[in-house]
Amino acid sequence: MHLEGKVAVVTGGASGIGAALCRALAAAGADTVIVADRDEKGAESVAAAIAATGCRAEPVHLDVSIADQVETMVRRVEAEHERIDIYFSNAGIMVAGGVEVPDEEWDRIWAVNLMSHVYAARYVLPRMVARSDGYLVFTASAAGLLTQLGAAPYSVTKHAVVALAEWLQITYARSGIRVSCVCPEAVRTNLVPELAARTPPAAGSAVSQAARDGILEPEHVAVSVMEALADERFLVLPHPEVATYEQRRTADRDRWLAGMARLLPPPAATG
């Protein structure tokens, strides 16, 4: 895909990977970048900085977990700019812990980390399919291909994002729709300290596991995404080592599971 003259929406655009994507789109010649985020002031700041470079940018206050808000935003952008060429469904949160995590926390991360992508596809696909052209980019995680120690809700939702992205690519390929799925390991965003703060002591190696191949800057991830878009490549691996880990996982799943288990500290003695 060529980005010159395109209308792009980026959710989670106020910080981290989202903000880096907004800047990369402007640098690549996009016509309009919609910076959508719950952080209204952050979105305004990113949009203003982009607008200063000569690219049109608009901040939008958006809670991606609420379907009506996503639909309203999509309809407004389509009405004002005629189309959405590329939609970066990027917003996400971290919830650490295991099956003991309260239902309300499971519901919250499910709504943000998965249903936001469902809503994005639901509302942008009809116009994209009608003109046989459009691009969806979902930010998942290496945890969606592998797992995340100490964070079952995060792992489960990120696996679901990868599955949804694959389904959409298969289902809509003949309709002119392209899909990319971004699966980095640790990136220098607010999710890394949040994982550290929320991870139970029994899974204390979770952060080191996520960062084993280095903590990337958001700008590095944005470069990887731009390269993947140019090639219209589905899987985006800013940490290329993840491809090797996934191959090991599929080649001998039992061995891989045992190896991951050894990364956890031994259970505390009882009695």
Instruction: Confirm if 117 and 138 have CB atoms less than 8 A apart.
Output: yes
Dihedral sign computed on CA atoms, order 153, 156, 160, 166: positive
Quick count: other Cβ atoms within 10 Å of Cβ 140? 27
Q: Which of 87, 119, 123, 154 is catalytic?
A: 154
How many helices, marked H, and strands, marked E, lie in the chain?
11, 7
**135 has catalytic annotation:** no
- Cα–Cα distance measured from residue 246 to residue 48, given in angstroms and rounded to the nearest whole number: 40
Phi and psi angles of residue 187, each rounded to the nearest 5 degrees, phi first: -130, 145
* Angle CA 220–221–224, to nearest 5: 90
Show which residues are catalytic: 154
